[in-house]
Structure 1
Amino acid sequence: MKPHSVELPLGRSHAQPKTPKIFLLIIFGTLALLTIIPVFYPLLGYPLYLLKHSSSKPSSTYDSQEPDASISISESETCDIFTGEWVPNPDAPYYTNTTCRGIHEHQNCMKYGRPDTEFMKWKWKPDGCELPVFNPAQFLEIVRGKSLAFVGDSVGRNQMESLICLLSRVEYPVDVSYTPDDNFKRWKYTTYNFTIAYFWTTYLVKSKQREVNGPTQTGLFNLYLDEFDEKWTTQIEEFDYLIISGGHWFSRSLVFYENHQIVGCHFCLVENVTDLTKFYGYRKAFRTAFRAINSLENFKGITFLRTFAPSHFENGWWNHGGNCVRTKPFTSNETALDGDNFELYMIQMEEFRTAEREGRKKGKRYRLMDITQAALLRPDGHPSKYGHWPHENMTLFSDCLHWCMPGPIDTWNDFLLQMLKKEGAKSHQ
């Protein structure tokens, strides 16, 4: 696979100046005053953990002796695979940075000297059932003749590359991209006639950089909250599966437009413009993205919302020494989804339910891939300072937002496979 363009996690690269920068969830201390703490939400119907806490072949072939992922996860159909704990798994990982050539450089933690390896040796154990280990041969059989698109930012790309690495035990895809732009890539598994695509969109809606620096020195962006981002909305009708996600970019300074007029902003410091906070933009962006999907008459695929994945900065803001140095997962009683993370998650859930209800009238299908608790419990899974060589001529902060590969993000694709198996069972019935 060709190397992908590098989106620096937290800073500016002098070596690759054309690479898009990424801003992290955590912003300057002064923005903490703008944090909205939710007072009340009706939790009925939400995950249990919220109630608790209010084509070339690879060099190595797939080992058929791995655990049989065709086994049903549970005799009970009521098991919530997204609520559980991380438990030790000495058999992991199932690929390495030397066996998979598709790992993004800034997530290649072992290459860049991460000294501990225990973070790779855990598996997700849902409450009341088992989640099978990812079976690449089974996955490729399920998606034979189909296509899957990832729509989102660099965390979405992180999951896509995890999937490519998990599948590399069976086959590598060939690049069939229609453009040289690395933000819009397509790969094909020729043996299985299966296509994966990636569509880069930081805000899900139409956007444009307004100023290079902005109040937080990370750019000021115009978001046109009622306008589709046609770079992806015009491309997805042919796909069988769509995984949509987004979140961390909304902490940048933003100016909100609706009906071609400025309606407010998030920490833009523009005179006579009301600060509506990032949550306003986040809700409207997802609403518009779902409206775009529901408006596509020829889109017959399944839309998966991959929920928000919290970052894990400790001991300071991202640009004031914050880091993520833990080497073990949290247990579910050691932390809780709260503050901004809770607000963003609940916005996603509410807009998803509305879109699902409206989409059903038009024959659209929506599914929830709720990775939030599993991600929340893994402060040990980020690159930290192991996303580049210490001596490189770069200005980088610790990356506590993206995920090492191999690592916890591989479990997101365990979820994906189980959900596809469930879809197959529905079709059979």
Structure 2
Amino acid sequence: MVTTETFKDRSFSPTKTLLPWTVCALFPIALIRLFFYPLPFSPFPKTDLSRSTSNSITYHSSLSVSASPPSSASTENGKTNETKSCNYFNGEWVSDSRGPLYNDTTCGTIKKGRNCITHGRPDLGYLQWRWKPNECNLPRFEPQTFLQLIHNKHVAFVGDSVARNQLESLLCMLATASTPNLVYNYKKGTDNQFSRWHFAPHNASISLYWSPFLVHGIEKSNTDLNNKLYLDHVDEGWAKDMDQMDLIVLSFGHWLLLPAVYHEGESVLGCHYCPGLNHTEIGFYDVFRKALRTTLNSIIDKRRGKGNGIDIIVTTFTPHHFEGDWDKAGACPKTKPYSNEEKKLEGMDAEMRKIEIEEVEDAKTKANEFGRLRLEALDVTKLALLRPDGHPGPYMNPSPFVNGNVEHVQNDCVHWCLPGPIDTWNEIFLEMIKKWENQPRTED
């Protein structure tokens, strides 16, 4: 035990007396030094999402990667050069044995026509590929990260059955972390046309709005074999709920290949494949452009300066892979991806993508004038083109060859098996919104 007697016989020592006070004085100075001149720790700490108890997340830099490690030549005043942007849309499919996050029995939201495994598809090699961008690696989908990013938000998928296909993929991957509860469903025939799912722990909603033209359209019927499109009016079937949406994913195009008559104002502009009608054949490219432009302008005009803003994603046109005519027993029998050397993006697929990229860029310029709007293209056309093996094909129906009538089996070479390549669309989608999270909106 230390007592006052301990100190009686000790002589005074300046060094021993002042040293503790010196250390105490230097400690706050060291802290100030570290504050203004921090040590070069990694700026991208790893985050264990399964242990996170906070709504905030630390991310790796999502849509950009460092061109090379920092060196003395690349630093100035303690700051590294700007990172090199990574293009997730140019790359190749490479073999990967990990497999998907979900399967045909763990996800209850797969439309029957996309459930290739349950319907008896015997080759499962199409599940053993991943997309490898040329400049970086595409991270595996993190459902908890996505759910935290849409906390208290409403994500709306608007478009045709390919939009629904992408939504179903997203729900299946999110279901590995949190159960999607169907809170609203409107069906026409066997198809969900307007549906909404809610993730209660995150107060997040994901909705489907059937709108195959995005603009106002009347679908063909038994008495009228032509679709009717009104290119100067957005479809109010989804637009009426726009004020409730935080993020809109637009996807359309395939329905424009069908016979249709096009209207603008009080006039008929022309038609596409309408023999017997006294209208000018004008094809569908300009119509595709007008429909997308009307849609994007409508969102910008209606939401500019309102609320917390809105985010818009345009998923680009995804090619079909029919060998033969789609309506005459065409099929998609490939069981492996194409390489970049085997298949080039050209023709209709290239033109449809080009129109979407151009319209998105034009709309971004307009949106930037008002602030609070963010807009990007989810450019999946090329990586979809290289996956002829990813469609349901004959397995859109269960056990399609059970009766042995091989020549007349219907094939689906437009939509995508679940799980399958379309899951990659949503991996890139997640990287896009992670990037947005680190880039605050501009004000009006």
Work out the CA distance in 2 between the residues paired with 1:357 and 1:277. Answer: 28
* Alpha-carbon shift at residue 271 of structure 1 (Å): 3.3
Aligned residues: 359
Specify the alignment match of 1:409 in structure 2: 422
* Alignment of 1:129 onto 2:136: yes
* Alignment of 1:167 onto 2:180: no
Work out the CA distance in 2 between the residues paired with 1:401 and 1:155. Answer: 8
Q: Comparing 419-428 with 347-356, which one deviates more in the overlay?
A: 419-428
* Alpha-carbon shift at residue 425 of structure 1 (Å): 1.6
Work out the CA distance in 2 between the residues paired with 1:411 and 1:210. Answer: 33
Specify the alignment match of 1:241 in structure 2: 247
- Aligned partner of residue 185 in structure 1, secondary structure: strand
Specify the alignment match of 2:116 in structure 1: 109
Specify the alignment match of 1:224 in structure 2: 230
Work out the CA distance in 1 between the residues paired with 2:439 and 2:61. Answer: 14
CA shift digits 1:30-56 (9 cap, x unpaired): xxxxxxxxxxxxxxxxxxxxxxxxxxx
Specify the alignment match of 1:318 in structure 2: 326
- Aligned partner of residue 386 in structure 1, secondary structure: helix
Work out the CA distance in 2 between the residues paired with 1:375 and 1:405. Answer: 14
Specify the alignment match of 1:384 in structure 2: 393
Specify the alignment match of 2:201 in structure 1: 191
Specify the alignment match of 2:435 in structure 1: 422
Structure 2 contact 95–130 (Cα < 8 Å) conserved: yes
Work out the CA distance in 1 between the residues paired with 2:228 and 2:382. Answer: 31
* Alignment of 1:309 onto 2:315: no
Out of 219, 222, 234, the position equivalent to 1:209 is: 219
Structure 2 contact 218–228 (Cα < 8 Å) conserved: yes
CA shift digits 1:187-223 (9 cap, x unpaired): 1100111110111101111111355376xxxx31111
Work out the CA distance in 1 between the residues paired with 2:376 and 2:291. Answer: 19
* Alpha-carbon shift at residue 128 of structure 1 (Å): 1.5
- Aligned partner of residue 440 in structure 2, secondary structure: helix
Structure 1 contact 318–397 (Cα < 8 Å) conserved: no
Q: Which has the higher helix share?
A: 2
* Alpha-carbon shift at residue 362 of structure 1 (Å): 2.3
- Aligned partner of residue 150 in structure 1, secondary structure: strand
Out of 360, 372, 379, the position equivalent to 2:368 is: 360
CA shift digits 1:69-113 (9 cap, x unpaired): 954452244110111111111011111001111111000000111
Task: Please report the TM-score for the alignment, with normalisation by the length of structure 2.
Answer: 0.76
- Aligned partner of residue 326 in structure 2, secondary structure: coil
In structure 1, the gaps of 5 or more residues are: 1-61
* Alpha-carbon shift at residue 408 of structure 1 (Å): 0.2
Task: Please report the TM-score for the alignment, with normalisation by the length of structure 1.
Answer: 0.79
Out of 406, 411, 417, the position equivalent to 1:398 is: 411
Work out the CA distance in 1 between the residues paired with 2:389 and 2:317. Answer: 17
Work out the CA distance in 2 between the residues paired with 1:243 and 1:396. Answer: 33
- Aligned partner of residue 243 in structure 2, secondary structure: coil
* Alpha-carbon shift at residue 330 of structure 1 (Å): 0.9
* Alpha-carbon shift at residue 342 of structure 1 (Å): 1.4
Work out the CA distance in 1 between the residues paired with 2:350 and 2:137. Answer: 27
- Aligned partner of residue 351 in structure 1, secondary structure: helix
Structure 2 contact 186–193 (Cα < 8 Å) conserved: no
CA 1:213/1:322 → structure 2, altered by over 3 Å: closer, same or farther? Answer: farther
Structure 2 contact 61–435 (Cα < 8 Å) conserved: no
Structure 2 contact 374–441 (Cα < 8 Å) conserved: no
Work out the CA distance in 1 between the residues paired with 2:362 and 2:419. Answer: 35
Work out the CA distance in 1 between the residues paired with 2:138 and 2:393. Answer: 28
Deviant stretches of 4+, over 6 Å:
none
Work out the CA distance in 1 between the residues paired with 2:374 and 2:294. Answer: 17
Work out the CA distance in 2 between the residues paired with 1:271 and 1:348. Answer: 30
CA shift digits 1:295-349 (9 cap, x unpaired): 21337111011111111111x1012231111111111121111111111111112
Specify the alignment match of 2:292 in structure 1: 286
CA shift digits 1:137-169 (9 cap, x unpaired): 121122212221100101000010100100111
Work out the CA distance in 2 between the residues paired with 1:405 and 1:210. Answer: 29
Percent identity over the alignment is 38
Work out the CA distance in 2 between the residues paired with 1:188 and 1:271. Answer: 46
* Alpha-carbon shift at residue 179 of structure 1 (Å): 5.3
In structure 2, the gaps of 5 or more residues are: 1-48, 52-57, 67-82
Work out the CA distance in 2 between the residues paired with 1:89 and 1:95. Answer: 15
CA 1:180/1:117 → structure 2, altered by over 3 Å: closer, same or farther? Answer: closer
Specify the alignment match of 2:349 in structure 1: 341
CA 1:207/1:423 → structure 2, altered by over 3 Å: closer, same or farther? Answer: same
Work out the CA distance in 2 between the residues paired with 1:210 and 1:270. Answer: 16
Structure 1 contact 149–236 (Cα < 8 Å) conserved: no
Relative contact order, CA 8 A, sep 6+: which one is greater? Answer: 1
